[in-house]
Amino acid sequence: MPAVGAGIEVAPESPTARLCRPNPQPMTPDASAASSPAYHRLAATFRRLHHLEHLQSLAYWDQAAMMPSGGAAARADALAEVAALMHGLRTDPVLKDDLARAADEPLTDHQRANLREMGREWRAANALPPALVQRSQLATSRCEHAWRQQRPANDWAGFLVNFREVVAVAREEAALLSASTGLRPYDALMDRFEPGMRCAQLDPLFADLRTWLPGLVRQVQARQQHEVVIQPVGPFPVEAQRQLCQQVMQWLGFDFNHGRLDVSTHPFAGGSPEDVRLTTRYETAEFITSLLGAIHETGHGRYEQNRPRDWLDQPVSMARSMGIHESQSLSFELQLARHPGVIAHLAPMIRQAFGDQPAFAPDNLLKLVTRVRPGLIRVDADELTYAAHVMLRYGIERRLIEREIEPEDVPTLWDEGMAELLGLDTRGNYRDGPMQDVHWPEAMFGYFPCYTLGAMYAAQWFATMRREVPGLDAGLHAGQLAPVFDWLNQHIWQPASRWPTDELARRASGEALNPAHYRAHLEARYLA
C-alpha cells in the first residue's frame, strides 16, 4: 500500500496546517507534587494506563485492518492479557486511599476535574473481577474475528455460537455494574459510553421522534420523487478513491503526521491522539460511501488530534462521551459534507479523481447525498432514516441485556422492527440484518443511542454557530472552514472532559441537549 498522504501537500503555514498545530495555550497542571502527593501518585498511574491504552488501541486497529487471519487466537490471548494488566492497575488497593487523600489536597480546577474522572474509572473497574475482564476480551475477540467471515456468508447459526457467550459475559458485567451503581443493567452499560444518560431520558426522546419523523420521511420522499438525479457512472478505482479521501481529509484539517487512513470491514476511528488510525471501505461500483465514511471518521480524528496536549495522559483529556464524539463525526459528515457550499468545493476534487461527468455537478451531488430512501444498512442510511436504525438496535439490545429475550430471538425482532420502522423485508437476510454491525460482536451494548444523540448535538452546535458567527454559511460557500473548526476547538475539543456532558453543552450552546434543533435542522434542509 502506498504511504498515507502520498501526493498530498500542504503549504507550511496554510490555514489547515495552523489548525492542526497543538493549542498554544494548553491546560497546565500547576499544583506541586509536594503539596499534593496523593494526586501526583494517581497521575503517574493513569499515565502508565495511557501508554498501555496506546498500545492496546494499535493492537485493535491491526486486528481489524492488517492482521492475517491466522493471528486471531494469539491476538485474543494477548489482548486479554493486556486487559487484565490494565484492570490490575485500575484496581490497585493503593488507588482507593489516594483518591480519598487527593480530595483534601490543594488542587486546581482542572486537577479536580481529572480526579473526578479518575474516580469514575476506578469505580467502574472495581465492579468487575479480573477473570471476567479476561473472559470478556476473549469472547469478543473470538466473536469479532469469526464475524468477519460469517457475515459475508450469511451464517447466523455460526455467528450465534460465539454471540451467546458475548451476551452472557455482557449480562454478567451489566449485573455487577448495576449492583455497584444502583443503575438498571442496560443503563449501567450505557453509562460507559454516555455518562449520565439513562433509558428514562432516551425513551421519551425516541417516542417523540416516532411522532414526527416517519411523516417527515414520507413528505420528503414525495417531494424528491419528482427530482431528476443523475447517477455517477463507474467503475471508480480503489486507488483513486483512496487519494480522494485523503485529499478531502487533509482539506478538513486531518493531520497525517499524526494519523493515517486504512481499510477495514467496518469503518472506525482508533489509535491515540498522537497516532490516530482511521478506516473506511471501498467498492468500485460507487464512491460516495467511502468518501462519506472517511469524512465521518475524520470528525472523530480531529477531536482526538485536538484534545488538550498537556493533559493527554490523564482521564480529563478524554472525550466527554461517545455522544459528544459522534457529534464531531456527524458535524463533519452531516452538517459540513451535506452543506451546499462544501459540496461545491468537493465537486472539483471528485472530478479530478474520476474525470468529468454530469453527475459531478454540485447541485446533482447535493441531491445524491441528501436522497431519502429507506435501506437495509445503517452506515449507508440517509440522514432522515438513520434514527430508525438506531431505535431498532436500542430496543433489541436493551431487552437482550435485561434478559427479556435471548440471542436466538434477535432475527425475528429485527424483521418485525425493520418492517414497522422502514417498511423493509429482511427475513433470512442476516448479513444485512442483525449481523451487519461490529458493535454486537464486540459487546458494545449501550453504544447505539450515541449516534442519534450525536446527530442532535451536531445540529445544536451548528445552530449555536449560526447565532455566534456572522456569515457562517456564506463562509462555507467560500470554502472557509476555519470558523467551524475554531468554534469546535474552543467549545468541544479543548474542554474534553473538564465538565460533565450537560455542563459542556450549556457552556458551548447555552442549554443542555435540546432535540428541537435536530428537527429544525432536518426541516430546514429537506423542506425549504
* Per-residue pLDDT reduced to its tens digit, 91-130: 999 999 999 999 999 999 999 999 999 999 999 999 999 9
Q: What is the pLDDT of residues 268-279, one digit of tens each?
A: 999 999 999 999
Write down the catalytic residue from 297, 383, 397, 442. Answer: 297
Count Cα neighbours of 409 within 13 Å in the Cβ-side half-sphere: 13
Q: Kindly state whether residue 29 falls inside one of the protein's structural domains.
A: no
Q: How many whole angstroms separate alpha carbon 20 and alpha carbon 293?
A: 21
Whether residues 132 and 233 fall in one domain: no
Task: Judge whether 13 lies within some domain.
Answer: no
Among 195, 213, 236, give the residue marking a domain's end: 195
pLDDT band at 528 (very low <50, low <70, confident <90, very high): confident
Amino acid at 80: A
Q: Which of 195, 217, 248 is the last residue of a domain?
A: 195
Looking at the structure, do residues 149 and 215 belong to the same domain, yes or no? no
Q: Does residue 24 belong to any structural domain of this protein?
A: no
Closest CA to 301 of 72, 434, 485, 478: 485
Burial of 244 (0-12, 13-18, 19+ CB in 10 A): buried
Same domain, residue pair 354 and 485: yes
Q: Say whether both 158 and 242 belong to one domain.
A: no
Residue 391 and residue 356 in one domain: yes
Q: Domain of 496: which CATH number?
A: 1.10.1370.30
What predicted TM-score, i.e. pTM, was given to this entire model? 0.91
Distance CA 272, CA 285 (A): 33
Tell whether the model's pLDDT for residue 12 goes beyond 60.
no
Domain boundary among the residues 163, 195, 227 is at 195
Amino acid at 108: T
State the residue range of the domain holding 130.
37-195
User: 5 lies in a domain?
Assistant: no
pLDDT in tens, 437-490: 999 999 999 999 999 999 999 999 999 999 999 999 999 999 999 999 999 999
Residues 454 and 488 in one domain: yes
pLDDT at 313 over 80: yes
pLDDT, one tens digit per residue, over 155-183 is: 999 999 999 999 999 999 999 999 999 99
Do the beta carbons of residue 278 and residue 328 sit within 8 Å?
no
Kindly state whether residue 1 falls inside one of the protein's structural domains: no
Residue 12 lies in a domain: no
513-523 confidence digits (pLDDT tens): 999 999 999 99
Q: What is the mean pLDDT of the chain?
A: 92
Q: What is the dihedral of CA 289, 290, 295, 297, to 10 degrees?
A: 110
Sheet holding 259-263, edge to edge: 259-263, 275-280, 269-272
Answer yes or no: 397 catalytic: no
**Per-residue model confidence (pLDDT) at position 1:** 28
Provide the pLDDT confidence category of residue 89 given band limits of 50, 70 and 90. very high
Q: Mark whether 372 and 493 lie in a shared domain.
A: yes
My answer on whether 284 and 166 are in the same domain is no
pLDDT tens digit sequence for 31-72: 467 899 999 999 999 999 999 999 999 999 998 899 998 998
The predicted pLDDT at position 11 comes to 29
Q: What is the pLDDT of residue 266?
A: 79
Query: What are the angstrom distances between the C-alpha of 487 and each of 87, 481, 491?
Result: 36, 10, 6
The Cα 511–Cα 285 span in angstroms is 44
**Are residues 441 and 334 part of one domain?**
yes
Q: What is the DSSP string of 467-519?
A: HHSTTHHHHHHTT--HHHHHHHIIIIITTTTSS-HHHHHHHHHSSS--THHHH
431's grid cell: 448479513
**pLDDT in the model for residue 146:** 95
Mean pLDDT calculated for residue range 252-269: 93
- The pLDDT score that the predictor gives to residue 83 is 92
CA 245 to chain centre: 18
* Cβ neighbours for 201, distance < 8 A, ≥ 6 positions apart: none
* Domain-located, residue 219: yes
> Are residues 208 and 110 part of one domain?
no
pLDDT at 26: 39
As for how many domains the chain has, the answer is 2
Looking at residue 32, its pLDDT comes to: 66
Amino acid at 160: L
Write out the three cell numbers for 338: 451535506
Q: Between residues 19 and 193, which one has the greater pLDDT?
A: 193
Main-chain phi, psi angles of 318, to 5 degrees: -70, 155
Give the H or E element holding residue 271. strand 269-272
Dihedral sign of CA atoms 305, 307, 309, 314 in order: negative
Instruction: Tell me, yes or no, whether 166 and 259 share the same domain.
Output: no
Residue 163 lies in a domain: yes
Look at residue 5 in the predicted model and tell me its pLDDT.
31
Backbone angles phi, psi at 511, to 5 degrees: -160, 155
Average pLDDT over residues 348-376: 97
Pair (230, 287) in one structural domain = yes
